[in-house]
């Protein structure tokens, strides 16, 4: 058997970080909910996208921050390790009924303190009638809302109750250019506006909100710089003091300015990954082709003798630990479906560039080594393979697979690239694909895919044939006749198609209602700054700013449904 490449000794630091991360049950915190409520009360006169950026700024200026013992990469959405904030602007009414059970439920329990409950109860009344879920429900026909909520034929709950996520953003540009460049681009766009144009206010508000959001992220990073300096001043351990001073320098510089080193590139990347979740409540925010956009910084530092393979591996391992610090609390039913505190941050290595050349590099191997060192659920590690993948890469991937962690997932360029081209994507763009969340290919930082927008139970329309459209004593589907009087399979199959078409149209109406509610109540200006075409168009992702914009519901139970039809 071929030798497994890039087997690098694991730093003792990593075991300590993992131990501290998992020492206690994850905890729900109330800081973000309080801060966004404070901001929204003060900005009711503003357009929604300006309210969103003002709230993002208020949160990042005031939310408690922490640098944990031994960290080299910093930035956490909660004080408690693996803790989470709540997002009342999307929904909140599911949480109070679970206060007493959320710490003891079987799937993804969270501790919630009496003080946190008190603080949340103080802010929740403000949001009644103002959430994304409120508006989505109001825009569904009553019978559609009833079928969604009560009859188990389809659900749009993923984004009805939560943010969307399911996106890959332009990490490469942030790391190479810095957010100050984004601010200058917005100012240049603002200078092109004339007051007489019809979309003047819309575009002005958008670009001003992006500026405010980027400035907020820069200020947030510098809060960490100040904290690191403060900790360094009191630190008596000379090694840790030096680490804290390095952290302080990095956080003062990135993501405001272009990264100057591999460490700064890692830190800049992490602030983007972390704060995307802070803004959006989304999951499946996916780093994509991490080995590609990080490699130039690694290679430059290695060639100049600034880092070794071991020190670079330690930084990667620290990022792998941080992926598991991000968390999200879901309602009990959703937690059962997403059990394991899943955030589905898909990071993919290997594959080819837009010109069809294999671009496997040393970081491709080291990312897989990080998975072996850290051995935690996140990121969702994937690998692109094709007929020119280096044999050593495949051996490394096989060695990781043998560890029994269920990763990496293997994606075949020779199948996925033609499939994307069949959807109208150019060859060059398709060759650059990454994976979002579980298994969803997309064009990196050009796509608002809304994957998992709905789940449709393919077996339920067949059950509706047997009940003539009745469920729980209510006529929710069309009357397709007494099944006992159907004379042939074709009669039954036609009835099935009638039921299915009826409920699929309901699902589409529900999805459209949720989609519209997000655009009206929760546009995300910081996310939009990182999606190509949103900036040029002056529109958020939620308002249609991305180049590729589609909705992806899923049909479940296809095999069971086929078996049922054939029985």
Residues serving a catalytic function are: 438, 440
CA 185 to chain centre: 25
Element (H, E) at 512: helix 489-521
278's tokens: 């802070």
Q: What residue has token string 């003792």?
A: 12
Distance from C-alpha of 402 to C-alpha of 448, rounded to nearest angstrom: 35
Distance from C-alpha of 486 to C-alpha of 465, rounded to nearest angstrom: 11
Return the closest-CA partner of residue 274 out of 407, 383, 171, 364.
171
Neighbours of 422 (CB within 10 A): 9
Element (H, E) at 441: strand 440-442
Neighbours of 154 (CB within 10 A): 25
Sequence-distant (6+) residues with CB within 8 A of 65 are 76, 220, 223, 224, 227
Distance from C-alpha of 179 to C-alpha of 530, rounded to nearest angstrom: 10
Sequence-distant (6+) residues with CB within 8 A of 374 are 14, 18, 317, 320, 321, 324
Cross-strand partners of 27: 111
- Provide the Cα torsion 420, 421, 423, 428; round to 10°: 80
Question: In the 8-state DSSP scheme, what is residue 70?
Answer: T
325 conformational bin, left if phi > 0, alpha if psi -120 to 50, beta if neither: alpha
**What's the CA angle centered on 399, arms 394 and 405, to 5 degrees?**
115
Element (H, E) at 443: none
Return the closest-CA partner of residue 19 out of 64, 65, 67, 68.
68
Return the closest-CA partner of residue 288 out of 436, 177, 396.
436
In a 10 Å sphere around its CB, with 0-12 CB exposed, 13-18 middle and 19+ buried, how is residue 129 labelled?
exposed
Sign of the Cα pseudo-torsion (66, 70, 71, 76, in order):
negative
94's tokens: 């599911």
Question: In the 8-state DSSP scheme, what is residue 199?
Answer: T
């Amino acid at each position: 058997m071929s030798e497994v490449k890039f087997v690098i000794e694991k730093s003792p630091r990593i075991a300590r970080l993992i131990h501290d991360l998992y020492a206690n049950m994850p905890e729900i915190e109330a800081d973000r909910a309080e801060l966004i409520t404070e901001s929204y009360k003060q900005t009711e006169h503003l357009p929604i996208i300006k309210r969103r950026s003002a709230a993002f700024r208020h949160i990042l200026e005031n939310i408690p921050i922490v640098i944990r013992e031994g960290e080299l990469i910093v930035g956490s959405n909660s004080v408690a390790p693996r803790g989470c904030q709540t997002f009342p602007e999307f929904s909140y009414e599911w949480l109070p009924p679970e206060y007493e059970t959320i710490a003891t439920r079987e799937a993804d329990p969270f501790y919630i303190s009496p003080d946190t409950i008190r603080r949340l109860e103080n802010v929740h009344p403000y949001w009644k009638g103002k959430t994304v879920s409120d508006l989505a429900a109001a825009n569904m026909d009553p019978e559609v809302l009833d079928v969604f909520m009560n009859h188990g034929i389809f659900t749009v709950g993923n984004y009805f109750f939560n943010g969307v996520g399911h996106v890959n953003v332009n990490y490469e540009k942030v790391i190479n250019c810095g957010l100050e460049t984004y601010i200058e681009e917005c100012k240049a766009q603002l200078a092109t506006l004339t007051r007489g144009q019809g979309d003047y206010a819309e575009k002005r508000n958008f670009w001003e909100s992006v500026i405010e959001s980027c400035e907020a992220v820069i200020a947030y990073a510098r809060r960490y710089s100040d904290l690191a300096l403060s900790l360094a001043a009191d630190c008596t351990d000379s090694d840790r003091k030096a680490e804290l001073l390095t952290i302080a320098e990095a956080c003062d510089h990135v993501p405001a300015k272009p990264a100057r080193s591999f460490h700064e590139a890692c830190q800049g990347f992490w602030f983007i990954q972390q704060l995307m979740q802070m803004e959006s409540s989304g999951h499946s925010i996916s780093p994509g082709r991490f080995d590609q956009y990080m490699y130039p910084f690694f290679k430059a530092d290695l060639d100049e003798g600034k880092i070794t393979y071991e020190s670079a591996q330690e930084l990667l391992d620290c990022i792998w630990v941080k992926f598991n610090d991000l968390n999200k609390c879901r309602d009990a039913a959703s937690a059962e479906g997403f059990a394991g505190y899943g955030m589905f941050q898909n990071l993919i290595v290997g594959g080819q560039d837009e010109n069809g050349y294999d671009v496997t590099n040393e970081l491709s191997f080291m990312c897989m080594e990080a998975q072996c060192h850290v051995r935690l659920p996140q990121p969702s590690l994937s690998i692109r393979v094709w007929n020119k993948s280096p044999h050593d890469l495949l051996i490394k991937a096989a060695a990781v697979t043998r560890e029994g962690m269920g990763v990496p997932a293997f994606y075949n360029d020779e199948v996925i690239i033609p499939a994307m081209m069949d959807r109208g994507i150019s060859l060059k763009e398709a060759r650059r694909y990454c994976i979002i969340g579980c298994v969803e290919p997309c064009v990196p930082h050009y796509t608002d895919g809304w994957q998992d927008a709905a789940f449709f139970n393919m077996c339920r329309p067949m059950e509706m044939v047997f009940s003539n459209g009745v469920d729980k004593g209510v006529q929710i589907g069309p009357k397709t006749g007494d099944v006992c009087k159907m004379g042939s399979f074709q009669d039954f199959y036609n009835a099935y198609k009638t039921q299915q078409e009826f409920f699929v149209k309901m699902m589409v109406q529900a999805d459209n209602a949720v989609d519209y509610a997000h655009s009206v109540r929760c546009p995300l200006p910081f996310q939009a700054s990182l999606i190509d075409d949103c900036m040029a168009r002056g529109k958020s992702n939620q308002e249609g700013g991305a180049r590729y914009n589609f909705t992806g519901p899923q049909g479940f139970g296809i095999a069971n449904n086929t078996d049922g039809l054939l029985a």
